[in-house]
């Protein structure tokens, strides 16, 4: 007769595990050194999120670099849909950011399957912050933008897992240049089209001075009807 595992309680479940760990299991880890990371594709990046009267607009440049010294790709889509009415930018190592988005999408799907309802954007931001703090995602600093019943939201997520809501925000290596242009052009209750022009102008300003940013702009428009993402190699197409 098989003996029960005495290391587990009578329920057969191991309750020593933290209830705050991801529902899908452990966050993956790695043992890459700082020297290894010098040869990792990085997005460099300027990313912008703006709340509008109609929803949210997110803008990013299109360049990836190898160790910050060589342009390895000129057409990187740095904003991805992760929810029917939300999108997230990629900032940091390309592999780390892509892994972050895949993990977050899986958690969102699991949440909605178990509960039978859409996750709120504030809860999604908290989940993203928890992953940023506890996962192996190489100092990512993404922007989350989304629309739900509570309104239109933009969050910046720092590498330590901090989550900050704002009307507009900028992250990435070109943020100092882009921020000035964005603050000059931003107005309350802009339309999505107006916000796209302001965001594209700020990305263009960053591209002029930041070597980690370049090669065009991706624009994501988020409303209660969904997410639309388009890339433009020529800034004149949107300005």
pLDDT of residue 164: 96
Phi and psi torsions of 46, nearest 5°: -130, 125
Between 224 and 40, the higher pLDDT residue: 224
What is the share, in percent, of the chain residues with pLDDT greater than 90? Answer: 63
pLDDT of residue 20: 44
Give the sheet arrangement for strand 226-232, strand by strand.
168-172, 46-51, 56-60, 217-223, 226-232
Q: Do 221 and 227 form a contact (C-beta atoms < 8 A)?
A: yes
Per-residue pLDDT reduced to its tens digit, 103-123: 899 999 999 999 999 999 999
Per the CATH hierarchy, to which homologous superfamily does domain 72-237 belong?
Aminohydrolase, N-terminal nucleophile (Ntn) domain (3.60.20.10)
The overall average pLDDT reported for the chain is 84
What's the whole-number mean pLDDT along residues 32-59?
Answer: 75
Confidence of residue 3 (pLDDT cuts 50, 70, 90): low
pLDDT of residue 139: 63
Separation between Cα atoms, residue 94 and residue 92, nearest integer Å:
6
pLDDT of residue 8: 43
Separation between Cα atoms, residue 167 and residue 153, nearest integer Å:
8
Separation between Cα atoms, residue 122 and residue 153, nearest integer Å:
8
Separation between Cα atoms, residue 192 and residue 157, nearest integer Å:
23
Per-residue pLDDT reduced to its tens digit, 128-163: 998 888 666 656 789 999 999 999 999 999 888 899
Give the Cβ contact number of residue 142 at 10 Å. Answer: 30
Answer whether residue 28 shows pLDDT above 90. Answer: no
pLDDT of residue 138: 58
Confidence of residue 68 (pLDDT cuts 50, 70, 90): low
pLDDT of residue 36: 46
The CA R_g of the chain, rounded to the nearest whole Å, is 20
Confidence of residue 65 (pLDDT cuts 50, 70, 90): confident
Mark whether 45 is an active-site residue.
yes
- For the stretch 52-55, contacts whose Cβ atoms lie closer than 8 Å and that sit 24 or more positions apart, written own/partner, are 52/152, 52/189, 52/190, 52/191, 52/192, 52/194, 52/195, 53/189, 53/190, 53/191, 54/152, 54/191, 54/192, 54/223, 55/147, 55/152, 55/192, 55/221, 55/222, 55/223, 55/224
Q: Do 54 and 108 form a contact (C-beta atoms < 8 A)?
A: no
Strand partners, 146: 86, 153
pLDDT of residue 67: 65
Between 10 and 131, the higher pLDDT residue: 131
Distance set, CA 155 to CA 25, 107, 145, 166 (Å): 26, 18, 6, 6
Distance set, CA 129 to CA 91, 157, 161, 202, 227 (Å): 14, 6, 4, 26, 22
Confidence of residue 218 (pLDDT cuts 50, 70, 90): very high
- Which of 43, 45, 47, 221 is catalytic? The answer is 45
Between 203 and 41, the higher pLDDT residue: 203
| 24-38, 88-102, 165-179: the lowest-pLDDT one | 24-38
Give the Cβ contact number of residue 157 at 10 Å. Answer: 28
3-class DSSP assignment, residue 107:
helix
Give the pTM.
Answer: 0.81
């Amino acid at each position: 007769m098989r003996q029960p595992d005495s290391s587990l309680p009578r329920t057969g479940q191991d309750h020593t595990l933290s209830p705050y760990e991801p529902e899908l299991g452990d966050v993956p880890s790695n043992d890459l050194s700082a020297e290894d990371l010098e040869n990792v594709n990085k997005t460099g990046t300027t990313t912008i999120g703006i709340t509008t009267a109609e929803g949210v607009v997110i803008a990013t440049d299109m360049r990836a670099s190898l160790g910050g010294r060589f342009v390895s790709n000129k057409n990187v889509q740095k904003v991805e849909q992760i929810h029917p009415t939300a999108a997230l930018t990629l900032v940091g190592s390309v592999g780390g950011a892509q892994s972050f988005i895949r993990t977050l999408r899986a958690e969102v799907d699991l949440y909605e399957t178990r509960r039978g309802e859409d996750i709120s954007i504030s809860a999604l931001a908290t989940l993203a912050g928890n992953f940023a703090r506890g996962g192996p995602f190489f100092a990512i600093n993404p922007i989350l933008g989304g629309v739900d019943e509570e309104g239109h939201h933009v969050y910046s997520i720092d590498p330590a897992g901090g989550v900050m809501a704002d009307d507009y925000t900028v992250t990435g290596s070109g943020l100092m240049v882009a921020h000035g242009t964005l603050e000059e052009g931003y107005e309350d209750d802009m339309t999505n089209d107006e916000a796209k022009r302001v965001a594209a102008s700020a990305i263009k300003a960053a591209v002029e001075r930041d070597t980690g940013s370049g090669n065009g702009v991706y624009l994501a428009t988020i409303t209660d009807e969904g997410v639309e993402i388009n890339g433009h190699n020529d800034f004149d197409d949107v300005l």
